[in-house]
Amino acid sequence: MPAPQDGSIRPVTGLSTRDFERLDVTSEMISRAERRAMEAERETTDRYVAAFLAAQIGEIVDVRITGVQNFGFFATVESIGGDGLVPVSTLGAEHFLYDEASQTLTGEDSGDAYRPGMRIKLRLAEANPVSGALRFELPEGGSYAPARMPRPAGVKHKGKHMAGKRGRPANIRHQGRKRR
CATH number at residue 77: 2.40.50.140
Question: Is the model's pLDDT at 151 over the cut of 50?
Answer: no
Which domain does 82 fall in, by range? 48-137
pTM of structure = 0.62
HEC string of 35-101 equals HHHHHHHHHHHHHHHHHHHHHHCCCEEEEEEEEEECCEEEEEECCCCCEEEEEHHHCCCCCEEEECC
Tell me: pLDDT of 134 over 60.
yes
The Cα 11–Cα 30 span in angstroms is: 22
Is the predicted pLDDT of residue 152 greater than 60, yes or no?
A: no
Query: What pLDDT, on a 0 to 100 scale, did the predictor assign at position 163?
Result: 52
Please report whether residue 7 resides in a domain.
no
pLDDT tens digits, 32-68? 999 999 999 988 988 999 999 999 999 999 999 999 9
Instruction: Quote the number of domains for the chain.
Output: 1
Is residue 76 assigned to a domain? yes
Question: Dihedral of CA 118/120/124/129: which sign?
Answer: positive
